[in-house]
A and B are shown apart, each in its own frame.
Chain A
């Protein structure tokens, strides 16, 4: 379980998170939605300790992420994260990308790590791409590679930070498909997304973040189809429009 209580975060004088409370249960898929700058991605990076916090506490399986006494590298093995910009290691083949952390961090033998990597590449549908360099893969394939790389540490939780936002529209489907597969296998997932349809179909709960606070939280049906707060309604009206409509309205 991930328990986020009263988390405050600022970049210099800019306050990004103003006391977030959120609990993610085992096996749950929680989507974080909200406008750009609402603090969704920052919150995600706080959960695995990539970003320090100024107040509050985040507990992962009862272990405090930002406690200086916590072995953060050990804790991060439980928390896989996938970023918007794939961040594949460009100098390593797909197989080496996935095998690196099991070998270096989990201290598995080279052969074990490679076998494990192959298993996870197959899991995300890249079983035949092991020898390819990231530059030879499409964006969708690189993003699935990033998922396989995170899964190879056998995490209990997966964090997704707008993983489809940088992809060409025709490549989004294969990545979402992989995420649905993980969900069906019972993975606990926290997904920051602008994809309202994905949130509606796949999320157990949806949290709408607005100006550094959890403005509304509930099932997908509650938050997306019947939002109670005005900010949520306003946000969803904008998000549901197609890009063309937004262009038209700004021209008019």
Chain B
């Protein structure tokens, strides 16, 4: 196939490398889902702490939010990969990407969750505490289920953003989707074809995340 400016597309070489790309995509999906879960679990208590407005937990989560949201994601990855390496703490690139994307997710999600918590009437907490529920029980059974309904769209968007951030794995030698693509194209220099196909795979993964989370939303909230 010949493109507009005489560029000759050469697809079969991409086709031959497809198993490599799909293996990379699988790593991307793994890290995306794990970082989504880890980010969520960290962001839930941090959002509550941020709401308190004082105390060590508030200060800790505020620092986390400030660092994760106001520095480049690539800087955060380098900090965990090379920065820790400087202290002779060597972690595999897979772990470094997982930790840095989780770190970034948690920061953004904390602020998304905090906005959601602000939308829940204070009396919901009074009502659940007055039934004898502890504070954690109240948040788990009463507050968070309502919060997730409010922030759902922004929350899923952050999950997809986290997925895109995993592509930084390429810079620390991880064979996730981008890393695998980089590796495959370096042998043939068919950069355009490879990254077009890779972009398409990212798109499909993003849509898959979006649809499956919408399905989960409907099942959970009966709406």
Contacts and interface: CB of A to CB of B under 8 A. Distances in A.
Contacts of B201: none
A101 B131 contact: yes
Contacts of A50: 126, 129-130
A85 B127 CA distance: 10
A100 B141 contact: yes
Contact of A91 (B127, B130, B131, B145): B145
Given A104-B141, A105-B137, A87 B123 contact: yes
Nearest to A103: B141
Contact of B132 (A76, A87, A91, A146): A76
Nearest to A152: B131
Interface in A58-104: 73-74, 76-77, 79-81, 83, 85, 87, 89-91, 100-101, 104
A150 interface: yes
Chain B interface residue number, banded: 10 to 19
Nearest to B147: A91
Contacts of A143: none
Interface residues of A, number: 25
Contacts of B210: none
B142 A89 contact: yes
A153 interface: yes
A149 B124 CA distance: 13
B191 to A, nearest CB: 49
Given A73-B132, A73-B134, A77-B132, A87 B124 contact: yes
A208 B85 CA distance: 71
Interface in B5-32: none
B128 A76 contact: no
Nearest to A146: B127
Interface in B84-134: 121, 123-124, 126-134
B206 to A, nearest CB: 28
8 contacts: A48-B130, A73-B132, A73-B134, A77-B132, A81-B130, A87-B127, A101-B132, A105-B132
Interface of A: 45, 48, 50, 73-74, 76-77, 79-81, 83, 85, 87, 89-91, 100-101, 104-106, 146, 149-150, 153
Given A48-B130, A73-B129, 8 more contacts: A76-B132, A77-B131, A83-B123, A89-B146, A104-B137, A105-B131, A146-B127, A153-B131
